[in-house]
Amino acid sequence: MKRQETFVKMFDAGISYERYVELTLNEKIKDRMSRHFEAAQELISKIEPQKLTRINRKMKILCVSENWCGDCANGVPVISALADALNNWEFVIVVKTSFEEDFQQYYCTAGRQKIPMVILADEDGDEISRWVERPTRSYLLLANLQSQKLPKEEYIAKYKSMPELKIPNLTAEILRELMETADRATAMIQILPTKKR
């Protein structure tokens, strides 16, 4: 099966954000998702309308996730809030374990299964761009923290105290990167030659 066919299969099996939240059993994760979603809605309400209009092109947005995952609890609500604000986006979520082989074959990052993965595709399901796991700034902060080789308890305490990794700062950074990813995707759609059918 080709990547495009795999995307379509996964997309067709997707669920709404509301259903995804219903299936989330961990109350702490649910609470974090709710806080990110509300923060994202507030941030989106302050974005210049022309920026939203520019990325509001017909696209299929597939988010591969797991509802136990902390990075997913951070990222999935933000992409969902953004999709809610854009009427031309079709947005669904799939649980990675439901498509383990497909994910392994087509969507690994550096040989690893990283989630959440947000895949932006055209109307036929051909991938245009993607956003994976967490913002670049978070990776840099964590890399710096790991390089300090701290005892586990101290590492966790420092990690939890970083304002950049908390709501609404983390929400804003995720939203900024998702907007950049969508901007790049819409620009590519505009200049790509018409597909041969």
CATH code where residue 64 lies: 3.40.30.10
pLDDT (tens digit, 9 = 90+) per residue, 134-147? 999 999 999 999 99
Classify residue 142: in a domain, yes or no: no
Collapse the DSSP code of 112 into the 3-class scheme (helix H, G, I; strand E, B; otherwise coil) and give the result: strand
Show the domain range for 35: 3-133+171-191
**How many domains does the chain divide into?**
1
Sign of CA pseudo-dihedral 100, 189, 18, 169: positive
pLDDT (tens digit, 9 = 90+) per residue, 74-113? 999 999 999 999 999 999 999 999 999 999 999 999 999 9
Collapse the DSSP code of 62 into the 3-class scheme (helix H, G, I; strand E, B; otherwise coil) and give the result: strand
Question: What pLDDT sits at residue 193?
Answer: 80
Name residues whose C-beta falls within 8 Å of residue 192's C-beta, 6 or more positions apart in sequence.
none
Sheet containing 59-65: which strands, arranged edge to edge? 89-95, 59-65, 117-121, 127-132
Q: Is the pLDDT at 1 greater than 80, yes or no?
A: no
Classify residue 155: in a domain, yes or no: no
| Cβ neighbours of 124 (radius 10 Å) | 11
pLDDT (tens digit, 9 = 90+) per residue, 19-36? 999 999 999 999 999 999
Classify residue 196: in a domain, yes or no: no
Classify residue 197: in a domain, yes or no: no
Q: Is the pLDDT at 197 greater than 80, yes or no?
A: no
Mean pLDDT of the chain: 95
pLDDT band, very low/low/confident/very high, at 187 (cuts 50, 70, 90) = very high
φ, ψ of residue 106 in degrees (nearest 5): -115, -20
- Measured distance CA(63)–CA(129) in Å, rounded: 12
Predicted TM-score of the model (pTM): 0.94
